Amino acid sequence: MNPDNVSVFDSALYSPLFTQAEMKAVWSDKHLVSCWLQFETEIAAIQADLGIIPAQAAKAIQQAATIDNINWTRLAAETAKVGMAIKPMVDQISEAGDPLVKQYLHWGCTTQDLLDTAQAMRLKSSLSLIRRQVINLIRSLSTMADAHRNTVMVARTNSQDALPTTWGLQLASYLTEMTRNLQRLDALTPRATMGMYGGAVGNLSSIGRVGLEVRERLMSALGLTQPIGLWNASLDGIAETIQCFAIIHGSLCRIANDIELMGRAPLAEVREGEGGGGSSTMPHKANPRACNMIQTLSRMGWMYASSAPNLMDQQDVRAASMRVLNWSLVPESCLAVSTSLARAQRLLDNLIVNKDNMRRNFAASRNLIMSEAVMMQVAEQKGRGESYAMIKTIIHDGLASDMSLEEMLLNSEAVTAMFSEAEITALCDPRNYLGCNDALIDESLAYAQTLLEGTA
């Protein structure tokens, strides 16, 4: 632990809150340089196979291009002078190798080739991790939605009690969003993981006519998408990826918002099961810290998304200034979304659901949210307009009392003339006004399952 670190991603205090360990390793300096060295090793082997450089040179480069030959203090100091770390890294490997390494290392390459290809390599690892996390969340939501399909609760619109629903249907709503997020990830991954190899201005002039074959073999060896044409100045795939992360954040934030609100003391329908965050002065408090962090990370993700189009502010064959934003936007956006997914997974895995309170909270409105159910039944005899006015008048007249909706209806001669006491009780039972609840949950479950069955 280094108490001198500043960023929340590396802070000795805050890093555990803002990072997911596997994702942090992907974007570490050590892994970055390892990707550069892998690039140099792979391209040397391919060039040797095609007779562009001597076979012995490729072997020598492979022996020299190791992380053990990197002096990190020197690399940092020289990067500060040059502005990019590729030349200082190439210089160190050249010095560590024999004359063949000095002559043929980085043959026909330019800085952008290594920067963009290494970023694509790390994005591939990042998107694979995020995809696994999304799939795990989809599976958890599927299980929970099915298990709570009959857990009746108050549905709220504009923060007010509206009609009956079930916790299972609400979970199914989150499920369909996350399923669409998985589709978005799968669609953009080939565009986000496109490697770069084009030389100084992207036309492979330093390699000659075999340049396209070298590029094809290199991308295949690195497991990256093959580029199409000249794309040195194109960062649309990166901007799209960060924007997609923002949408995932939106889905997660909605879940966090709902759980936070449902956990308020007057409702107490759900509660974070990890103990929550204690107050420094109020012994009774257990703050919803998982929800809070998801909300915080979502705002960070939206901030990155608003900045991402700046990457496309390019001119000519390429411009370095906006590309440097990659060094902050891409790793931080990956860390934020992966950490939020991990938080959401733990939140759902440990969530405590109070079914009794969900049912009891209908009484907060004296069961008035069943008014539509009653009105629709009256409408079958009197028409919608007259039934609406009739039920509204009954409620208005009964508000001054402490009567529930059922008691108001039982006191109405107009209503009792149409329905028996048992029928009125049934009309006021939320379980009898759930519409296509089960069918909607089944649709969401089938949608998710179909997509999961087609995933590798």
Q: Do 323 and 284 meet the contact criterion of CB atoms below 8 Å apart?
A: no
Q: Which residue has the higher pLDDT, 120 or 317?
A: 120
How large is the C-alpha radius of gyration of the chain? 30
What pLDDT sits at residue 276?
62
Strongest mean pLDDT among 109-113, 128-132, 200-204, 406-410: 128-132
What pLDDT sits at residue 129?
98
In the DSSP assignment, the letter for residue 59 is H
Does residue 254 register a pLDDT over 90? yes
Q: Do 305 and 247 meet the contact criterion of CB atoms below 8 Å apart?
A: no
Question: Span 411-424, mean pLDDT?
Answer: 89
Task: Render pLDDT for 429-438 as a digit per residue (tens, 0 to 9).
Answer: 999 989 999 9
What residues contact 363, with CB distance under 8 A and at least 6 apart?
A: 404
Angle between helices 29-49 and 111-147 (to 10 degrees): 120
Taking the C-alpha atoms of residue 105 and residue 84, their distance in angstroms, rounded to an integer, is 17
Taking the C-alpha atoms of residue 416 and residue 422, their distance in angstroms, rounded to an integer, is 10
pLDDT interval class at 239 (50, 70, 90):
very high
Taking the C-alpha atoms of residue 191 and residue 376, their distance in angstroms, rounded to an integer, is 52
What pLDDT sits at residue 281?
56
Taking the C-alpha atoms of residue 218 and residue 199, their distance in angstroms, rounded to an integer, is 13
Q: Give this prediction's pTM.
A: 0.92
Residue in the block written with tokens 């696994």: 132
What residues contact 437, with CB distance under 8 A and at least 6 apart?
A: 149, 165, 166, 168, 169
What residues does each domain of the chain span? 15-109+198-226, 124-196+231-361, 368-427
Distances in whole angstroms, Cα of residue 56 to Cα of each of 36, 44, 288, 316, 359? 20, 10, 61, 38, 76
What pLDDT sits at residue 368?
87
> Which CATH architecture describes the domain 124-196+231-361?
Up-down Bundle (1.20)
- pLDDT above 90: percentage of residues in the chain: 64
Task: Render pLDDT for 62-81 as a digit per residue (tens, 0 to 9).
Answer: 999 999 999 999 999 999 99
What residues contact 281, with CB distance under 8 A and at least 6 apart?
A: none
Q: Which residue has the higher pLDDT, 423 or 138?
A: 138
Does residue 278 register a pLDDT over 70? no
Task: Render pLDDT for 88-125 as a digit per residue (tens, 0 to 9).
Answer: 999 999 999 999 999 999 999 988 999 999 999 999 99
Tokens read off for 309: 């189009």
Tokens read off for 55: 């076979």
Torsions phi, psi for 194 (to 5 deg)? -90, 120
**Topology of domain 15-109+198-226, CATH:** Fumarase C; Chain B, domain 1 (1.10.275)
